[in-house]
Structure formats: C-alpha cells, structure tokens
Structure 1
Amino acid sequence: MPNKEARQAPLPVRDGVAPSFLWLPEGSWPDIFSFLVERFPLVSAADWADRLARGEVVTADGIALRAGSQFRRGMRIFYYRELARETPIPFEEQVLFQDEHLVVVDKPHFLPMIPSGRFLQETLLVRLKKKLGLDDLSPIHRLDRETAGVVIFSSQQSSRGAYQSLFQRREVSKVYEALAAPLAGRAFPFVYRSRMVEGEPFFCMREVAGEANSETIVDVIEHRADATLYRLSPHTGRKHQLRVHMAALGVPIINDAFYPVALPCKADDVSQPLQLLARAIAFSDPLTGEPRRFESRRTL
C-alpha cells in the first residue's frame, strides 16, 4: 500500500525507505504471524518470524507485534518492505534544481520512480531520499520506468498541494522527444486525439471508439539517417499516452516493448532503452508567480 501516511508512522524512514502500512481485513487468523504468511506469499515464513522477532512490525501506536500477537480486524500495522535480492540499475540520476520546496531531477532510463514489485532501493525516490536526506520527498508527477528525463519532486508537505494542483488543472507545459521511423503523408505539426482505456495485458493501454480523452501535438525536430526525432507535446496525461499515440500512427517509438505489441519481458536487459525523453517542463510557480522551466541534459 502507498505510504501516504508515512510522515505519521511509528517507524522511521530507514535507508531511504518509509514504512508501509495496512489495515487488517475481515477474516479469522490465529495470530499476526499466520496472517502475514498468508497475505504475503512471496515473503517466507522464516523472514516474517525474523522481522517480528526484531520488532519491525508494529501497531499505529508503535507497539511491537510478536508472532503470537492476536489478529484484530481493523487494526493498522506498519512494517518495512524488504527484498532479498535487487539488481543494481547502472545509470545515475542528476539533480537539476533544488530549493526549499522542489527538487527537479533528470531521471535515467530503466529507473523506477517509486518502490514497487521487485524494485526498492533501486528507485528514484529512495535514491534521492538517501542522497539528499529528505525523508518527506514525494513525486508531484510520474514518468514510466522506461522513460528518461525531467521529473519534479516536492520536499515540503505544506506546499505540495499547490504544485500538485498545477498538474490537475493542466497548467504545466511538457515537451518530450522521441525517436521513431519517418511518418509520411502528414503536415507538421498536427494534433492527434483518441480515446484511451485500460487494455490487455493489464499494464498496457488501448484505443477505442468514442469521445477523445487524450491529445498530443506531434512535430518533427530533425530527420536522421536511421530515424526521425519527434517533438511530442501532450495536452493530457494518460498512462503511456505518447507510446500509444505513436504506435497508432504507425511509427512506434524505437525499443518500445509494449506497443504496438507487448513483447516478452527482457528481465534486467538495459541494452535497448526506450527512445523517449521528457525534454522540458514549464509552469508559473504557484507560490511566487515566477516562470519556471527545467530541461533535461540527456539526448536521444
């Protein structure tokens, strides 16, 4: 479960990782240990026994739970996510800007934004918390793991909502670059619109008939010998929007493993990055009214 209340948690941030929490559901288990083993089948019983013995599963009041502690529906418990093995991601992020409210980062390809699945320490959020010592850091928006470029984090809970609202009101200008095959028969720039919904497999999106809910301006920056460099300006922020739109136009982004067809997972192969870059982001600062613009130093 996302750590929305980590700042109120009875466990501290440890090695850049905030504690996770969950509310105990309806059901009958003889004790906490039995529940945890059943609830998290990918974590061994021996591992849960060790965590409980170390006092690393606690109630909202900070009381350490033991293996034989009673299961009580509705109780909130806190614990740390741990991974026995995590493959290092051999690319580094760069901090482009930092003040008391914002941290702007140039994210590399392949680095996930936040802990999820098989990624914990090798995520941008955890790396930054450790590097900058900012336990309250939180992303204001997201980039796909496969996408590189500019992303903005909030370091102050008090001002976070003001910056988040800019994205909700679509008052942020975002420019991406992508490499793909040449697109013939079009006058540039042009606007592409479609209706996007969740698809199959579950992590993909697809286009369907109906009123458009996604919009991208497509332009050409330059034609190269082996590909065309496009400038993509999304007006909406649907999941995988640029990848879906380019594939629908018949020119999928180079090295896209999801569109137009989801390919078998390449595991930890980092030899062919998706040729998509969040080049720049601009907005009027909601606190000062000052124009802000941040640009990636990376190239495709």
Structure 2
Amino acid sequence: MDVFLAFRFTYQSRSNWRKILEEGKILVQGKVAKPSYSIKEGDEILYLPGEIFEPPVQTDFKILFEDSRYIAVEKPGDIPIHSAGRYRKNNLTDLLEEDSRFEKIYTIHRLDRETSGVVVFGKDSEAASKFADLFSKRKVNKTYISYVWGNFPTSFRAKGYLISDPSSLIRKKRKFVQKDFFQKLEIPEEDSETCETNFRKIGEGTLHGVPFSKVYCFPKTGRLHQIRATLYSLGFPLLGDKIYGKDESAFIEFIEGKDPDLIAKLGMNRQALHSSSLKFIHPFTGIKTKIGSDLPEDFPE
C-alpha cells in the first residue's frame, strides 16, 4: 500500500505515506490499512488527513509589471503556482491574494514548481480569458534559459511528439520523439501531443569537472514538461531536474524520503529552468509589451 500511494500520489514520500498508514488515516473498504496491505481490484481507499502542515516555500517573489488588467510576477524557484497536493495555501496565487492590492487574481498559464521567472495573472476573468487566447493562438513569444549537461549544438529545432515513457519508473514522466520516428511507433493519437521547441546555445562551462551548456529555449507550443522532456530525450538533461535529470534515482529516493544529495547527483538543488521573458501585444491597449526577468542567483555562472 505504501509503495502504491508514493508512486500514485507523489506529493508525499513513501516514508510519509507509511507514517500516515501507521497513524490509521488510510482506510480500505472502511477498515484501517497497514503499509504491507496488498491492493486488490475494486478496493475503495479513503484518506483521512486531519490537520495538514504544508512545506515551506520561497516567498521572495516580486511584481515586474502591473496595470488595470494584469500583473506579471517574478516567481522564485521553489513555489507552486496554484493549490495542489500538499500546497493548499503556500502557493503563489493564494499568497498574491493575501496582498490587499489584489482582491482576486486569475491564473492564465503555469510554470512547474521549481521553474523560476515570469508568470502573468489576470485581475479579472475577461483579462485572463483574452490573455489565455493569446497563448492558445501562439501569439506569446516565450523565452526560457536552461542549463543542461553536455555540449549542446549551436542551434537545434525539436519538432515532434510528447508521449509517456514506459521505460521509466516515474509514472508521470514523458519523452520526446521526432516526427519521423513517431510515425513508426503506431501510438494512438490520444496518447500523444505535438510539440515544437527551438534551442540556441549561448554559453558553456564545467560543473564538478563535467561540461554543461547554457541554452535559450523558445517553445512554440505549451505542453506539460515540454522543455524538460525534450532536452532529456535529446540527451541533454537539465541540471538539478529530479524527474528529467541525468539520474532519475534521485527522484525515487526523494519521494521515499531518503534525502538524496541532489547537488552531488544532479548538480543543483532544483531544475535549472528560468522563464526569462514574455513578449506579446497587450490585449486591451494594443501596445507591444515585453516583460523580462534576470537570471536567478542559484544558477551557475
């Protein structure tokens, strides 16, 4: 049971789920379940969490842009955008709404919890809808900066598909396949998403004696884990990425509560991906707008 819960609900480690089971907070068919219980088809599992203590997050975000319809925020590298999993109140949306200047804000797009940089919110539902339409019609130019292991090519265009990665022990992990190769796989359309990202190398260096590259990422589509999965599949995993890094055992150890040495295994404590700028035509004023964010201090020089 503890293994199933850790891999199905990754917001808790296996050791945490084991503790929760031992506290009698998981019921199966109405009865308290032990960590060693073997799940059977048709089992009804009920979680009684009681009072939840949330993990701490970085709260040193700052406002980059604000007008009557939008705010753009520089997101730190350890805070989720919205309420999910263990983060019910410790998330960027809720913390912004605690500010007396913002009665309510509306999520438009998202960044992974460990991705830092520019994120835009609407101040009303109409503003959020109009900006979301820009994203869906690919009228927002997005630029990310990443640090990857290896000597990345000067430039590369990755156009193809994102599919699940059956070879990985991580359930939610995806992989990128080039268009020509994808056509040979005969994967059902509902199990894949088209994606396209352009990359340009802008620097290089070494970390712990291993070469890395600094790379601009220009995603044309906006799929879940698009940049991370694409770089990993091309053989250039992000520094610090627990899921798509060079050693996915770090993620397994992390969710099992073994506290791996992430710097030794992955080079950084969090994934080296930063949303550095968004460029768009303002939906209400028609003004060309660019919002930028400087590289975080925890990234390599």
TM over 0.5: yes
Q: TM-score, normalised by structure 1?
A: 0.68
- Are 1:149 and 2:117 an aligned pair? yes
Aligned to 1:275: 272
Aligned to 1:84: 52
1:214 aligns with 2:186: no
| 1:258-297 residue CA offsets vs partner (Å, 9 max, x unmatched) | 1156422536979702111011011011211100110113
TM-score of the two chains, using structure 2 as the length reference: 0.67
Which protein, 1 or 2, shows the higher relative CO under an 8 Å CA cutoff with sep ≥ 6? 2
C-alpha RMSD of matched pairs (Å):
2.4
- Secondary structure at the residue paired with 2:79? coil
Match of 2:49 among 43, 46, 60: 43
What is the distance in 2 between the residues matched to 1:123 and 1:298?
A: 21
Q: Equivalent residue for 2:89?
A: 121
Alignment equivalent of 1:241, drawn from 220, 223, 226: 226
Letter in 2 for 1:287: F
Report the identity percentage: 26
Q: Given the alignment, which residue of 173, 198, 209 partners 2:141?
A: 173
Match of 1:296 in 2: 293
2:163 and 2:139 map into 1 onto residues whose CA distance is: 23
Q: CA deviation at 1:97?
A: 1.1
- Could you say if the C-alpha distance between residues 197 and 42 of structure 1 is closer, same or farther in structure 2, counting changes exceeding 3 Å? farther
Amino acid at match of 1:207: F
Aligned 8 A contact 1:136 1:157 in 2: no
Q: Describe how 1:16-55 pairs up with structure 2 within 5 A.
A: 41-44=47-50
Instruction: Show structure 1 runs of 5+ residues with no match.
Output: 1-37, 45-82
Give the superposition deviation at 1:133: 4.2
Q: Deviations over 1:76-118 (max 9, x none)?
A: xxxxxxx521122144111111111101000011200101110
Mapped to 1, the partners of 2:110 and 2:171 lie a distance apart of: 18
1:174-208 CA-to-partner distances (Å, cap 9, x unmatched) read: 00001112325x3x222112210244634322235
In structure 2, the CA distance between the partners of 1:132 and 1:150, relative to structure 1 (3 Å rule), is farther
Aligned residue in 1 for 2:172 = 203
Q: Deviations over 1:195-249 (max 9, x none)?
A: 1024463432223543671111111111224322111111111111111111112
Unmatched tracts of structure 2, length 5 or more: 1-43, 184-192, 263-267
Aligned to 2:188: none
The aligned amino acid for 1:107 is K
For the Cα contact (< 8 Å) 2:280–2:289, is it kept in 1? Answer: yes
The SS at the match of 1:131 is coil
Change (3 A) 1:43 1:133: farther
User: How many Å separate the matches in 1 of 2:65 and 2:253?
Assistant: 34
Question: Retained in 1: the 8 A contact 2:200–2:215?
Answer: yes
Write the distance in 2 (CA, Å) between the matches of 1:241 and 1:116.
20
Matched, 1:190 2:175: no
CA distance in 2, matches of 1:142, 1:116: 13
Instruction: Quote the residue 1:102 is aligned against.
Output: 70
Mapped partners of 1:91, 1:100: distance in 2 = 24
Amino acid at match of 1:151: V
CA–CA distance in structure 2, aligned partners of residues 132 and 219 of structure 1: 41
Q: Deviations over 1:11-45 (max 9, x none)?
A: xxxxxxxxxxxxxxxxxxxxxxxxxxx9962334x
The one-letter code matched in structure 1 to 2:239 is I
Q: Which has the larger radius of gyration?
A: 1
- Residue in 2 that maps onto 1:50: none
